[in-house]
Structure 1
Amino acid sequence: MKSLTEITIPEEVKFVIYKLRENGYEAYIVGGCVRDLLRKAEPEDWDVATNAEPEKIGKIFLRSFANNEFGTVTVLTGSKEPRLKEIEITPYRIDEKYTDKRHPDEIKFAKTIEEDLARRDFTVNAIAMEIRKILSIEPTPLGQIYGKTAGGVYPGEKLEIKIVDPFNGQRDLKNKIIRAVGKPEERFSEDALRLMRAVRFATTLDSDKIWEIDKATKKAIQKNAHLLSFISKERIRDELMKIIMSSNGARGIETLRRLGLLKYIIPELEEGFGIEQNKHHIYQIYQHNLLSLEYAGRKNFSKYVRLAALLHDIAKPRTKEGEGLDATFYNHEISGAKMTIQILQNLRFSKKEIEKIVKLVRYHLFYYDAEEVGESSVRR
């Protein structure tokens, strides 16, 4: 993990933090960006939590807008860096009961950062970072951007960083463990998509290995896997694609199967589990599909090729005739194309995406170099 002295906070983020504090409010950097900073990764976006309510935030930052029922205010920074053009500020909050397993029935503003962190999904995402600027006077080379003072010494700014970590997220980051905050079953009943997010984080936080999912968290996922049926297909698709597009995509799919989630995402894939092929294949159908995805990921192929690799033999269990070395799977590519249409439509892929992937599945028995398959090749 990264030392606090090595952490660099962008000026845009510091501006937001300092401005809130100047107006008498608390302000912390929170969520995935803290997790990524501590693990020496570049944050995708920046989130701030505060005890200021939305109306007060809007008055402090005139170039901002409120955009959801959670009280989040988005500040427009004017930065040229895409990741820093918008910074979201959300008041501390406590979420009430989740009847639909997706959205809280009621949201109440909380008083402390600890209360806010307690509602978050996993310990590695429940860490807050407080930054304060302190004046530093150190000898520096001539020409420093700060004004010259007597004796060639220049005043500068240093950051004092404090970590708020009530659920030992730093320990889990170090040990590479995904653990639910508090009681796992409560976290998953609040938002059932967290069932998939646990697998996604375990799959994507490292490029070369899968993180361990804590025993109690894993048990709660298996027990509550059926809750995934409450989640919109679009949200499921987005989480699935984050897994598939990672370097550990195949292992992520297998983790979904082992935890009982895959049957609520692409149940057709499980039909090939334990089904032998014939003299032309040494792997069972399900294994073969995963190995195809693994190869596509290793070669950094597009999402179209990766999905086609995973689904290209999806119809083999339904078209199998006979057993042993001489078993056949006649027209499995035709049946597979039809099944792929249904699978992708169910997951709300666009017509354009479906067309490209289905063509790859339908004609996968023709020889072509996957590394040469581009947009025009798929259309042809």
Structure 2
Amino acid sequence: MGSIYNGNKNINIDIPEDVQYIMDTLNEKGFEAYAVGGCIRDSLLKRQPEDWDITTSAHPSEIKALFRNTVDTGIKHGTVTVLWGKNAFEVTTYRVEGEYEDNRHPTSVCFISNLIEDLQRRDFTINAIAYNTEDGLVDPFGGLIDLRYKLIRCVGDPKERFAEDALRTLRAIRFSAQLGFDIEGRTKECISEMSELIVNISMERVQSELDKILCSKNPGKIRLVYETGISVHILPQLDIMMNTPQNSIYHKYSVGEHTLAVLENTRGNHYLRWAALLHDVGKPDARIEDQDGRDHYYNHGKTGSEMAHQILRDLKFDKKTINIVTRLVKFHDYKTEMNEQNIRRAIAKIGPDIFPLYIELSYADLAAKSRFAIEKSFGYLKYLKETYEKIVERQDPLSMKDLKISGKDLLEMGFSKGETIGRVLNELLDRVLGDPSLNERDILLEYVRNHNLWGEQCIKRDTRNG
């Protein structure tokens, strides 16, 4: 089948066998078929594509007739998922879309027979590239050139693309962060001009894009969310942080610039990156200036934890993320005395499950402070990390579940269910945190018997024993 699209046959892309089979099957029946979008972009960048999408002149009913196992994933919009072996591939009919009344969904979809018209509706030039082995690379909007110059550029008029789907304003920043690309001038201008349209997008979709930005290799690109005016609509606390100074011998940046530096100092862990973004979110509210003009931020961790909880809820995050991130924000600047006993207590207080993340966040936070702060606190952090590793290696008890007795043992001793059992277990934990050698069943049981741990139950116990 001859090509009408003037494809570049000098570029070869390794197409997976299953994808090639699907395209060959469509071609044999007289339909056009190309791998398209992100898989071609990533292949050209020598990155491993996460999935392979196929675009075709065949209509959904014709696609379904050619393959035994299919799923109608988005059939109104022309998308059929073909199940082949252990893999699933989205096959979508060439289409153009009608008006966008809500900056997200088209009022209508019309199937067409021309690949170029289909590519023209896509968001960015680097995603509007198609390929098959017969015709080569079909790139009508200069995506390959933009890949070479590392640019994110809209297909056609940016205003039209962003009006069609306001989420594209965030997607541009996300691709910039993931790929390390710049956003082309006109495209960036239009993001700023149309930033308010993001309010028409569901918070779940906004959250997904923000998460991808933060978890990318360039989390500092979250700056663009502020610079383009998007954050004022979805994360106004970022704007406030960016405009809050830190007049302190411990700092060299504003709260916002410090936050961006901390982000760049952390590895790409979901919880760690969100904690880095929000660790100082309470500082603007907690900020006070002393008589010497120095800023102080008392209890900003607690304040920030409460704010982070609301922010993450508004962004529709899951309970686990909210729990972990808010605890990290609360304790990010927690300090204790430099001895094993107090460090064990710190681990128990902060949480054994997140203490490694707390240490990582502490290092990232310190590295973004002034030289004075680094020289003052680096030795403490080094001792904290080394001591924590020793404690973990020895398997010292750090939580109630590590105690050699349980609530069941206390019930058998005559305690009733309720707060008393929790209080007693907490007291026992405090003892073994001080001295792990006390964490033996007989020692703990004897301690309970010989000390007045019964509280209000003491009278009932004496009555039973009498």
TM, length-normalised to structure 1 = 0.84
The structural deviation recorded for 1:271 is 0.7
Number of aligned residue pairs: give it.
Answer: 337
The one-character-per-residue Cα deviations of 1:232-280 (angstroms, maximum 9, x if unpaired) are 0000111111110112001x11111111112223111211223222222
Residue 144 (structure 1) aligns with: none
CA distance in 2, matches of 1:165, 1:195: 23
Are the counterparts in 1 of residues 120 and 128 from structure 2 also a CA contact under 8 Å?
yes
Check if 1:130 corresponds to 2:132.
Answer: yes
Give 3-state SS (helix, strand or coil) of 1:170's partner. helix
CA distance in 2, matches of 1:359, 1:217: 38
Give 3-state SS (helix, strand or coil) of 2:169's partner. helix
CA distance in 1, matches of 2:224, 2:126: 20
Are the counterparts in 2 of residues 279 and 325 from structure 1 also a CA contact under 8 Å?
no
Are the counterparts in 2 of residues 71 and 91 from structure 1 also a CA contact under 8 Å?
yes
The one-letter amino acid of 2:353's match is: E
Residue 325 (structure 2) aligns with: 357
CA distance in 2, matches of 1:4, 1:225: 40
Over 3 Å counting, the alpha-carbon distance change for 1:178 and 1:22 in structure 2 is same
Q: Among 189, 197, 210, which residue is 1:240 paired with?
A: 210
The one-character-per-residue Cα deviations of 1:33-72 (angstroms, maximum 9, x if unpaired) are 1111111111111011111110110010111111113120
Check if 1:48 corresponds to 2:17.
Answer: no
Coordinate RMSD, CA, aligned: 2.3
The one-letter amino acid of 2:128's match is: A
The one-letter amino acid of 1:240's match is: L
Are the counterparts in 2 of residues 222 and 259 from structure 1 also a CA contact under 8 Å?
yes
Residue 3 (structure 2) aligns with: none
Check if 1:15 corresponds to 2:17.
Answer: no
Residue 312 (structure 1) aligns with: 279
Are the counterparts in 2 of residues 102 and 190 from structure 1 also a CA contact under 8 Å?
yes
Check if 1:348 corresponds to 2:326.
Answer: no
What 5-or-longer segments of structure 1 have no aligned partner? 80-84, 133-160
The one-letter amino acid of 1:31's match is: G
Are the counterparts in 1 of residues 266 and 273 from structure 2 also a CA contact under 8 Å?
yes
Give 3-state SS (helix, strand or coil) of 1:9's partner. coil
User: Relative contact order: is structure 1 or structure 2 higher (C-alpha 8 Å, sep ≥ 6)?
Assistant: 1
After superposing the two structures, state which structure 1 stretch, 2-11 or 223-232, moved more.
Answer: 2-11
Give 3-state SS (helix, strand or coil) of 2:133's partner. strand
Q: Among 270, 277, 283, which residue is 2:239 paired with?
A: 270
Are the counterparts in 2 of residues 3 and 38 from structure 1 also a CA contact under 8 Å?
no
The one-character-per-residue Cα deviations of 1:335-373 (angstroms, maximum 9, x if unpaired) are 101100110001000112101110111111224899x99
Are the counterparts in 2 of residues 76 and 87 from structure 1 also a CA contact under 8 Å?
yes
CA distance in 1, matches of 2:152, 2:72: 32
Are the counterparts in 2 of residues 120 and 181 from structure 1 also a CA contact under 8 Å?
yes
CA distance in 1, matches of 2:351, 2:45: 36
The one-character-per-residue Cα deviations of 1:154-208 (angstroms, maximum 9, x if unpaired) are xxxxxxx511111111111111111100110000000000000111111111xxx
The one-letter amino acid of 1:326's match is: R
CA distance in 1, matches of 2:71, 2:20: 19
The within-5 A match list for 1:106-145 is: 106-132=108-134
Check if 1:203 corresponds to 2:173.
Answer: no
Residue 145 (structure 2) aligns with: 171
What 5-or-longer segments of structure 2 have no aligned partner? 1-7, 336-342, 358-397, 400-466
Check if 1:228 corresponds to 2:183.
Answer: no
Residue 217 (structure 1) aligns with: 187
Are the counterparts in 2 of residues 54 and 72 from structure 1 also a CA contact under 8 Å?
yes
Check if 1:289 corresponds to 2:280.
Answer: no
CA distance in 2, matches of 1:201, 1:341: 27
Residue 35 (structure 1) aligns with: 41
Are the counterparts in 1 of residues 11 and 137 from structure 2 also a CA contact under 8 Å?
no
Whose helix proportion is higher, 1 or 2?
A: 2
Residue 427 (structure 2) aligns with: none
Q: Among 216, 225, 230, which residue is 1:261 paired with?
A: 230
Identity %: 41
The structural deviation recorded for 1:376 is 5.8
Are the counterparts in 1 of residues 286 and 297 from structure 2 also a CA contact under 8 Å?
yes
TM, length-normalised to structure 2 = 0.69
CA distance in 2, matches of 1:164, 1:280: 55
The one-letter amino acid of 1:303's match is: H
The one-letter amino acid of 1:78's match is: G
CA distance in 1, matches of 2:352, 2:69: 42
The one-letter amino acid of 1:70's match is: H
CA distance in 2, matches of 1:6, 1:186: 33
CA distance in 2, matches of 1:289, 1:339: 16
Residue 185 (structure 1) aligns with: 159
CA distance in 2, matches of 1:374, 1:56: 56
Residue 102 (structure 2) aligns with: 100
Give 3-state SS (helix, strand or coil) of 1:7's partner. coil
The one-letter amino acid of 1:260's match is: G
Q: Among 353, 372, 377, which residue is 1:375 paired with?
A: 353
Residue 336 (structure 1) aligns with: 304
Are the counterparts in 1 of residues 12 and 133 from structure 2 also a CA contact under 8 Å?
no
Over 3 Å counting, the alpha-carbon distance change for 1:4 and 1:45 in structure 2 is farther
The structural deviation recorded for 1:325 is 4.9
CA distance in 2, matches of 1:373, 1:112: 58
The one-letter amino acid of 2:259's match is: N
Residue 411 (structure 2) aligns with: none
CA distance in 1, matches of 2:144, 2:176: 15
CA distance in 2, matches of 1:200, 1:162: 28
The one-letter amino acid of 2:319's match is: K
CA distance in 1, matches of 2:228, 2:303: 28
Check if 1:162 corresponds to 2:136.
Answer: yes
Give 3-state SS (helix, strand or coil) of 2:242's partner. coil
